[in-house]
Amino acid sequence: MSRNWIVGALGLIYLAASPFSLGQSRDRDRRFEDALADIRLLKNVVDAQNRRIADLEKTVKALQTESAANAEKPTGYDRARTSNPAAIAPWQIPFAWSQIKMGMSRVQVEDILGPPTSVDSVIDYQTLVYKGDLPGTGALNGTVKFTSDRVYQVNPPAF
């Protein structure tokens, strides 16, 4: 009888554990399927990002190539200075003077107007002087005054 009792007890334990283990199996299957779905989603996101990165790298390379080609070309000021010494300097163009703003640095001003014909300096004050003749209008004279390397006064030529 004790043998039957053992077999019966094992049977009851199996039956009691079976629904629980089947429930766990379903939960495991659902979690496994969810994990696979997440992996597929992440793979799609990575693929999309790789395509975007490749497109951005192409754009950057094209811009670098274009920039390098433009760097080899002389600027308008350089072309005027080298090809025709009597050509108009940037400071002789009224529009260039309209771009000069209070607070700009000397480097910014010289990028717009070109190098001055002379510079007057007294302690912390500098004056860039632009003098010259413009064909058809005569002599022009303009100044840009700085303190602590910042524009505080602009006197454009009378065009």
Place of tokens 């379903």: 26
**Cβ pair 146, 130 in contact under 8 A:** no
59 vs 104, residue with greater confidence = 104
Q: State residue 44 phi and psi, 5-degree precision.
A: -65, -40
pTM: 0.46
Mean pLDDT of 35-41: 85
Mean predicted lDDT score pLDDT of the chain: 79
Percentage, residues of the chain above pLDDT 70: 73
CA dist., res. 150 & res. 108, Å (int): 10
- Alpha carbon of 67 to those of 16, 61, 73, 112: distances in Å? 77, 10, 10, 20
**Cβ pair 133, 139 in contact under 8 A:** yes
Count other Cβ atoms within 10 Å, centred on residue 97.
20
Of the listed ranges 53-67, 79-93, 141-155, the least confidently predicted one is: 79-93
Length reported for the chain: 159
**Cβ pair 97, 154 in contact under 8 A:** yes
Confidence of residue 12 (pLDDT cuts 50, 70, 90): low
pLDDT score of 131 more than 70: yes
Name the strand (E) or helix (H) holding 153.
Answer: strand 150-155
Confidence of residue 2 (pLDDT cuts 50, 70, 90): low
Residue range 77-128, pLDDT digits in tens: 454 444 454 578 899 889 999 999 999 999 999 999 999 999 999 888 999 9
Confidence of residue 75 (pLDDT cuts 50, 70, 90): low
E strand spans, 1-148? 118-122, 125-134, 138-147
Residue range 16-34, pLDDT digits in tens: 665 555 556 677 788 988 8
Following CA atoms 101, 106, 110, 113 in sequence, which dihedral angle do they give, to the nearest 10 degrees?
Answer: 30
Of the chain, the end-to-end C-alpha distance in Å amounts to 124
Confidence of residue 36 (pLDDT cuts 50, 70, 90): confident
pLDDT at 23: 56
pLDDT at 26: 75
